[in-house]
């Protein structure tokens, strides 16, 4: 019953968000917060909704993997690296050092830095399309930046999951799994293509189970499901029509994940204050890294600002980090950061041109 209510509430909010051309991710979280334990307390998260939320996460990570096409990445590695380098340096490395210096313990600094680093591909790309920026060179750089971040995500997840006693054994297992998937990536797509070409329910079932396979691998081999799901996605990135088929599954489960994340988030004042501070760090970090990237690739601060203003929104991955690794304080802080940056980021993307020309006039 909760699931049906959640779905209908999200439906109403989705329509409203579309009408106001407002990013949908923060809206689902706010809806969950309002109806859950932090708000009116109408809904509770139970075992079933937890499972559904987990499905959303595993589909999201599978989808992220799907966008890392090893061949394309290999061919474009210079461009991808140039687009993503300053982003990683400032929004991950520098933020991590800052947090550590201000007294956060190593593991928490790492979780927060990971969440602040990754922009929301969903919001960022949607904004580029809606605000008609695809002709711009900067739009291409932003797209490659998202690809670079997606690659780093896989590494971050592994580093965040290192809570296991036997490190050596854990890494040996991971390496073995990774090598296996990469070997399969060379042979499996041929056979998978054959299944995907059928016109019955077989392709749907294949895509659905492939998306969820990460969960099974965690239970069987204690390999973090997030990492497994990304790698399986990577394997499927060369199989045709998987992407369009997985989108409906991903969207439904991921929206429910955002909603129930909101429902189960316990809010505290400490989290709110920290979240606001982190949001300021998150926004200025992306503006600075965008500026540096633009100066390096396009030799222009205007380009750099365009890149920066288009990458401010944080979203799905940051919420996943809070859900998977965060404690109460970190979870509520990151939620606040995501709400602020996703809403502000949509606006800065929409009005970037005005902001840049205003700054251009001011500097003369």
Partner 1 sequence: MVRLTGMEGIGTKYELETSKGDKIAVVFLLNRRVQLYIQEKGCEKPCSIEMSENESKRLATILSGAPVEKEKESIEVDFMGIPDLTLALHTYTVGRSMAGKTIEELAIRKRTGVNVIAVSRKGNTIISPPPHLIFEEDDQIVVIGNKDQIERFEKEILGA
Query: Please, are residues 342 and 319 in contact by the beta-carbon 8 Å criterion?
Result: no
**Phi, psi of 76, rounded to the nearest 5 degrees:** -105, 15
CA quadruple 51, 46, 222, 325: dihedral sign: positive
Shortest distance (Å) from residue 270 CB to partner 1: 36
Shortest distance (Å) from residue 352 CB to partner 1: 12
User: Which of these, 215, 221, 280, 285, lies nearest to 253 by C-alpha position?
Assistant: 215
Shortest distance (Å) from residue 331 CB to partner 1: 27
CA-CA distance, 95 to 232, in Å (whole number)?
30
Does 358 help bind partner 1 (rule: CB under 8 A)? no
Candidates 15, 16, 48, 134: give the one binding partner 1 (CB under 8 A).
Answer: 134
Does 140 help bind partner 1 (rule: CB under 8 A)? yes
Angle at 330 between CA 92 and CA 347, to 5 degrees: 65
Query: Please, are residues 133 and 310 in contact by the beta-carbon 8 Å criterion?
Result: yes
CA-CA distance, 242 to 278, in Å (whole number)?
37
Q: Which stretch binds partner 1 (CB under 8 A): 90-98, 125-133, 249-257, 332-340?
A: 125-133
CA-CA distance, 319 to 261, in Å (whole number)?
8
Candidates 47, 244, 361, 362: give the one binding partner 1 (CB under 8 A).
Answer: 244
CA-CA distance, 90 to 265, in Å (whole number)?
29
CA-CA distance, 108 to 85, in Å (whole number)?
23
Would you state the structure tokens that stand for residue 161, as one six-digit string?
């999951």
Candidates 10, 43, 143, 287: give the one binding partner 1 (CB under 8 A).
Answer: 143
Shortest distance (Å) from residue 137 CB to partner 1: 10
Total interface residues for partner 1 by CB under 8 A? 20
Shortest distance (Å) from residue 125 CB to partner 1: 5
Q: Which is nearer to partner 1, 133 or 286 (CB)?
A: 133
Candidates 19, 132, 299, 361: give the one binding partner 1 (CB under 8 A).
Answer: 132
Q: Which stretch binds partner 1 (CB under 8 A): 54-62, 136-144, 262-270, 291-299?
A: 136-144
CA atoms within 13 A on the CB side of 16: 11
Burial class (CB in 10 A: 0-12, 13-18, 19+), 94: middle
Write down the H helix ranges in the chain: 2-19, 24-35, 47-66, 70-75, 77-88, 95-101, 106-117, 121-130, 137-160, 167-196, 202-221, 225-236, 242-264, 269-297, 301-310, 316-325, 328-350, 352-363
Candidates 45, 55, 59, 67: give the one binding partner 1 (CB under 8 A).
Answer: 67
Q: Which stretch binds partner 1 (CB under 8 A): 89-97, 141-149, 156-164, 251-259?
A: 141-149
CA atoms within 13 A on the CB side of 173: 17
Does 125 help bind partner 1 (rule: CB under 8 A)? yes
Does 353 help bind partner 1 (rule: CB under 8 A)? yes
Candidates 6, 35, 118, 128: give the one binding partner 1 (CB under 8 A).
Answer: 128
Site string for partner 1, 68-87 (x = CB under 8 A): -x--x---------------
Give residues with Cβ within 8 angstroms of 359, minimum separation 6: 305
Q: Which is nearer to partner 1, 75 or 89 (CB)?
A: 75
Shortest distance (Å) from residue 20 CB to partner 1: 19
Q: Which is nearer to partner 1, 134 or 277 (CB)?
A: 134
Candidates 31, 61, 147, 281: give the one binding partner 1 (CB under 8 A).
Answer: 147
Q: Which stretch binds partner 1 (CB under 8 A): 13-21, 124-132, 268-276, 343-351?
A: 124-132
Does 121 help bind partner 1 (rule: CB under 8 A)? yes
Positions that interact with partner 1 (CB under 8 A):
67, 69, 72, 121, 125, 128-129, 132, 134-136, 139-140, 143-144, 146-147, 243-244, 353
């Amino acid at each position: 019953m909760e699931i049906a209510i959640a779905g209908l509430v999200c439906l109403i909010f989705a329509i409203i968000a579309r009408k106001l051309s407002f990013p949908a991710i923060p809206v689902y979280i706010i809806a969950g917060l309002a109806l859950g334990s932090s708000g009116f307390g109408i809904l509770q998260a139970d075992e079933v909704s937890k499972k559904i939320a987990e499905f959303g996460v595993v589909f999201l990570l599978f989808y992220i993997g799907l966008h890392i096409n090893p061949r394309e990445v290999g061919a474009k590695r210079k461009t991808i690296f140039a687009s993503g380098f300053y982003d990683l340096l400032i929004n991950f490395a520098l933020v991590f050092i800052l947090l550590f210096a201000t007294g956060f313990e190593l593991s928490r600094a790492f979780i927060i830095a990971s969440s602040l680093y990754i922009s929301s591909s969903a919001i960022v790309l949607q904004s580029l399309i809606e605000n008609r920026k695809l002709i711009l060179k900067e739009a291409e750089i932003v797209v490659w930046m998202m690809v670079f971040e997606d690659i780093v995500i896989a590494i971050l997840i592994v580093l965040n999951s290192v809570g296991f006693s036997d490190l050596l054994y854990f890494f040996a297992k991971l390496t073995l799994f990774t090598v296996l998937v990469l070997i399969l990536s060379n042979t499996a797509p041929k056979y998978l293509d054959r299944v995907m070409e059928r016109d019955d329910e077989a392709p749907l079932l294949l895509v659905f189970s492939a998306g969820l396979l990460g969960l099974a691998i965690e239970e069987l081999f204690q390999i973090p499901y997030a990492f497994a799901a990304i790698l399986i996605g990577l394997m499927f990135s060369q199989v045709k029509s998987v992407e369009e088929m997985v989108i409906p599954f991903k969207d439904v489960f991921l929206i429910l994940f955002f909603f129930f994340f909101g429902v189960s988030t316990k809010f505290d004042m400490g989290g709110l204050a920290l979240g606001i501070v982190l949001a300021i760090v998150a926004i200025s970090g992306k503006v600075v890294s965008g500026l540096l990237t633009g100066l390096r690739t396009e030799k222009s601060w205007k380009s750099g600002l365009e890149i920066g203003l288009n990458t401010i929104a944080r979203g799905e991955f940051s919420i996943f980090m809070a859900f998977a690794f965060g404690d109460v304080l970190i979870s509520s802080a990151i939620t606040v950061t995501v709400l602020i940056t996703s809403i502000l980021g949509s606006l800065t993307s929409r009005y970037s041109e005005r902001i840049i020309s205003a700054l251009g006039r001011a500097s003369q």
